[in-house]
Amino acid sequence: MKELKILAVIAALVGITYYGIEPYAHSVMHPEVSAADFTFKDAKNVDTSLAGNVENGKVLVEANCIACHAIEKAGHPALMPNADAAASYGVVPPDLSHAGRIYDKNYLANFIFDPVSAMHLSHKYPVGGTKAFPMPSYNWMTPQEIMDVVSYLQSVAPKVTEDKEGHKATFEAACGRCHSMAYAKFDATTPKDSIKAYMGATPPDLSQYIKSRGEHYLHSFINDPQVLLKNTSMPRVGLNEKAQEEVIAYMEEIGDSKKAERESLGLWVMLYTFVFAILAYLWKRKIWSEVH
Q: What is the pLDDT, as a whole number, of residue 43?
A: 64
**Same domain, residue pair 97 and 233:** yes
Distance CA 280, CA 134 (A): 67
pLDDT band at 100 (very low <50, low <70, confident <90, very high): very high
Mean pLDDT (the chain, rounded): 90
Averaged pLDDT for residues 25-34: 69
Averaged pLDDT for residues 252-269: 87
Residue 125 and residue 235 in contact, taking contact as beta carbons nearer than 8 Å: no
Residue 228 and residue 203 in contact, taking contact as beta carbons nearer than 8 Å: no
**Same domain, residue pair 64 and 207:** yes
Q: What is the pTM of this model?
A: 0.82
Distance CA 23, CA 15 (A): 12
227-238 residue pLDDT tens: 888 899 899 999
Question: Which residues touch 254 (CB under 8 Å, ≥6 apart)?
Answer: 181, 183, 184, 207
Number of CB atoms found within 10 A of residue 189's CB: 21
115-169 residue pLDDT tens: 999 999 999 999 888 888 999 999 999 999 999 999 999 999 999 999 999 999 9
163-186 residue pLDDT tens: 999 999 999 999 999 999 999 999
Question: Which residues touch 266 (CB under 8 Å, ≥6 apart)?
Answer: none
pLDDT band at 1 (very low <50, low <70, confident <90, very high): low
Averaged pLDDT for residues 240-263: 92
**Same domain, residue pair 292 and 235:** no
236-249 residue pLDDT tens: 999 999 999 999 99
The pLDDT of residue 72 is above 80: yes
Residue 146 and residue 138 in contact, taking contact as beta carbons nearer than 8 Å: yes
Please give the C-alpha separations between residue 36 and each of 39, 49, 124, 192, in angstroms, as whole numbers: 9, 22, 23, 30
Question: Residue 108 falls within a domain, yes or no?
Answer: yes
Q: What is the pLDDT, as a whole number, of residue 20?
A: 74
Q: What is the pLDDT, as a whole number, of residue 200?
A: 87
Distance CA 100, CA 86 (A): 23
By residue range, what is the domain housing residue 17?
1-32
**Same domain, residue pair 17 and 93:** no
Cross-strand pairs, 71: 76
Run of H or E including 107 = helix 105-113
Q: What is the pLDDT, as a whole number, of residue 5?
A: 84
pLDDT band at 292 (very low <50, low <70, confident <90, very high): low
3-class SS at 66?
coil
**Same domain, residue pair 234 and 292:** no
191-238 residue pLDDT tens: 999 999 988 889 999 999 999 988 888 999 999 999 888 899 899 999
Run of H or E including 147 = helix 143-156
Q: What is the pLDDT, as a whole number, of residue 26?
A: 67
Q: How many residues does the chain have?
A: 292
**Same domain, residue pair 6 and 55:** no
Question: Residue 261 falls within a domain, yes or no?
Answer: no
Total domain count, the chain: 3
Provide the residue type at 89 as one letter: Y
